[in-house]
Chains A and B, each alone.
Chain A
Amino acid sequence: MTSMSSLNALRTDKRMVIAATVIMGIALAVLPFIIGSGLGNSWLRILNFALLYIMLALGLNIVVGFAGLLDLGYIAFYAVGAYLYALLASPHFGLHLPVWVIIPAGAALAGIFGALLGAPTLRLRGDYLAIVTLGFGEIVRIFLNNLNAPVNITNGPQGISGIDPIHLGGFTLAKPISLFGFTLPSLHAYYYLFLALALFIVFVTIRLENSRIGRAWVAIREDEIAAKSCGINTRNIKLLAFTMGASFGGVAGGLFAGFQGFVSPESFNLMESVMVLCMVVLGGMGNIPGVILGGILLTILPEIFRHGSGPVQVAIFGKILLDPEALRMLLFGLALIVVMLYRPAGLWPSTTRRREFRGDSTNDVLKEGE
């Protein structure tokens, strides 16, 4: 009897999942049209950036959220992906390689950078690792800024412009695409491409999380000594986390370069690393939906403040009293503080997910204060 009803529950569960997936799919498919017509192209661009940030946040989540390694220089891998694209597909060197070569190459190169950074530093204690990765991020940025002389590789602070837009199968995403009498605007086309890759990264992350490797990452985060004693080669597994996380960053970076058509060192400063870290922690470290939420919120929130801080001032004071840019970041900083004070484990932490899932309400008195 019980087995019958649980079987039924399972069936309804499955149906629910399929229904939810279909609804989600439709929503994601029509989203750019709603946003494009409702809020205009600038918000559509923001939506595309949100997708890039989701990829970054998911990559960093592997390092910080799963493996528990604090990386403050993550944006360097985004930079590696972006500059590789810029160098291989722009007038700068006169190279115009196709995107299906560059993006995987960017992922691989960023992964190699991840391993290079990780190899000597992974045995460092948490805070030291944080500061070394931060230093690494700055080193990469300083080199990008200065590698224009004596040989001009990165074109220095001016950055590289005129980067080829992404081409797919004979179409360039920079112009509206006409297919079967239907025209897809450029921003929409980029949206679908980014969405596809973001979903792919979500898929890879979920698969990894529920695997032997993913468990080893979390085990290291939870207790490195116990993990070692279980036979986990912690150095290699951490290195793998760095490499995987970095390669996601490389993919996002390549897409960014193609989308933006321009890269410069300023896009890859420490504040960007910090921003991605905030997405991971504020969203809910280690929890994939939480991290996605963090990515969306922290992309959109500063933009809302940006669009709001001028007009609202005009409405209240009749003129702009305070520098809107400063005001927007000020509000953003306050939001970070407030959210962390009220939800120190993030907005959507993995433990609540589990608890909600299993209706488990035992409290943690046992290990509290250890």
Chain B
Amino acid sequence: MSSTLLEARAIDKHFGGVTALRNVSLTIRQGEIYGLIGPNGAGKTSFFNVLTGLYHPDGGELIFAGEKLQASAPHKVAKLGIARTFQNIRLFGNMTAMENVMVGRHVRTHAGVFGAVLHDRRTTREEAAIRRRAEELLNYVNIADRADDLARHLSYGDQRRLEIARALATDPKLLALDEPAAGMNGTETASLRELIEGIRKDGITVLLIEHDVKLVMGLCDRVAVLDYGEKICEDVPSLVQKDPKVIEAYLGGSIA
């Protein structure tokens, strides 16, 4: 059994009267693809937001690679090795695809104002490395031909891929994808699946929110189900599918 990468302990999150997360605990193991599913409004995105430091949890704590995650410090979370994509794509629209990925390298590079202005050896070398890595990643997600296009000009599927490339540029240990297949057609979803499998093969753990049941069941090693902010089930896909509570949550078994 591989080691634990992320442990969430009793996470609570409320918005006014709405409970988005209640006492959610889960553990994600090194190297697995972990699915997080649940009906709309179940709290999946909220969990991501708490995990990545965008929301301050009202209770509980997160342990990542042995370190406690500091709430409300997204940039530190990124530095520790958690990268994410967003349900409603958040790219830097007026930057090129290439530049988007280069921004992803920010957290692993160091050049400051003086380096930028003086172009000393270290900075030029670092800048070249950033560019090389960004090119590699664009290739990796198969959109190298769009490198110089503005992100907002890319097709929907390519924007999803670009967001993944940007996340990968931060050298994450854990990649959290929020509904990456939403709005994709069959072929696009199939190639997305290959992409995610490839990412896992490269040693990156994946946390996946997805509605596409086939994708989740085929791809994930384990799945947790959220309903009204509570975790109602966590198991291998084949068992989750048969869990009565899950079927109930999905209104009479549209999941099966």
Direct contact of A and B (CB under 8 A): yes
Binding site for B on A (CB under 8 A): 204, 207-208, 211-216, 218-219, 222-223, 225-234, 240, 244, 350-351, 354, 358, 360, 362, 364, 366-367
- What are the 10 closest A-B residue pairs judged by CB atoms, nearest first? A231-B107, A231-B78, A211-B116, A222-B92, A228-B74, A226-B90, A362-B153, A212-B111, A367-B152, A219-B103
Residues of A within 8 A of B108 (CB): 231
Q: Which residues does chain B contribute within 8 Å of A226, judged by CB atoms? A: 86, 90-92
B67 within 8 A of A: no
B53 neighbours in A (Cβ, 8 Å)? 228
Known: A211-B127, A212-B127. A225 touches B90 (CB 8 A): yes
Separation of A232 and B74 alpha carbons in the complex (Å)? 8
- B78 with A230: CB separation less than 8 A: yes
Q: Is the CB of B104 within 8 A of A360?
A: no
Instruction: Name which of B54, B103, B150 has the most chain A CB atoms within 10 A of its CB.
Output: B103
In contact, A213 and B113 (Cβ under 8 angstroms): yes
Q: Is the CB of B102 within 8 A of A229?
A: no
Are B106 and A229 interface neighbours, CB within 8 A?
no
Given that A207-B119, A208-B113, A211-B116 are contacting pairs, would A230 and B149 also be in contact in the complex, using a CB cutoff of 8 Å? Answer: no
CB of B93 within 8 A of CB of A367, answer yes
* Interchain CB contact (< 8 A) of A360 among B54, B99, B153, B155: B153
Task: Give A219 to B107 CA distance when docked, in angstroms.
Answer: 13
Interfacial chain A residues near B107, Cβ < 8 Å: 230-232
> Counting CB contacts under 8 A, is B205 at the interface?
no
A239 to B130, CA, bound (A): 24
CB distance from A341 to the nearest CB of B (A): 22
User: Chain B: how many interface residues by the 8 Å CB criterion?
Assistant: 50
Across the two chains, which residue of chain A brings its CB closest to B107? A231
Decide if B166 is an interface residue (CB 8 Å cutoff): yes
Q: Say yes or no: B116 contacts A208, CB within 8 Å.
A: yes
Q: Would A228 and B94 count as touching, CB distance under 8 A?
A: no
> Which of B75, B84, B94, B126 contacts A350, CB < 8 Å?
B94
Considering the complex, give the chain B residue whose CB is closest to the CB of A204. Answer: B117
Q: A234-B75, A362-B153 are in contact. Are A219 and B113 (CB under 8 A)?
A: no
A interface majority secondary structure? helix
Residues of B within 8 A of A (CB): 52-54, 74-75, 78-79, 83-84, 86, 90-96, 99, 102-113, 115-117, 119, 123, 126-127, 130, 148-150, 152-156, 159, 166, 169-170
Residue in chain B with minimal CB distance to A205:
B117
CB within 8 Å for A216 and B111 given contacts A222-B92, A229-B52, A362-B149? no
Interface-centre pick from B92, B108, B111, B170 (highest chain A CB count, 10 A):
B92
What are 30 inter-chain pairs, A to B, with CB distance below 8 A?
A: A207-B116, A207-B119, A208-B113, A208-B116, A211-B115, A211-B116, A211-B123, A212-B130, A215-B103, A218-B92, A219-B92, A219-B95, A219-B103, A219-B106, A222-B91, A222-B94, A223-B93, A225-B54, A225-B74, A226-B86, A226-B90, A229-B74, A229-B83, A229-B84, A230-B103, A232-B107, A351-B150, A354-B150, A358-B149, A364-B153
Apart from the given pairs A244-B113, A358-B149, 20 other A-B contacts in the complex at a CB distance below 8 Å: A211-B123, A212-B105, A216-B103, A219-B106, A225-B74, A227-B92, A228-B53, A229-B78, A230-B106, A231-B75, A231-B79, A232-B106, A233-B75, A354-B96, A354-B150, A358-B148, A364-B152, A364-B153, A366-B154, A367-B93
Bound CA span A233–B79, Å: 10
Assess the A207–B117 pair: CB atoms within 8 A: yes
Closest chain A residue to B118, Cβ basis: A207
Partner of B153, one of A204, A219, A232, A366: A366
The distance in angstroms between the C-alpha atoms of A212 and B91, with both chains bound, is 17
Complex interface: chain A residues within 8 A of B103 (CB): 215-216, 219, 227, 230, 232
Interface contact A211-B111, CB-CB below 8 Å: yes
In the complex, the answer to whether A212 meets B109 with C-beta atoms within 8 Å is yes
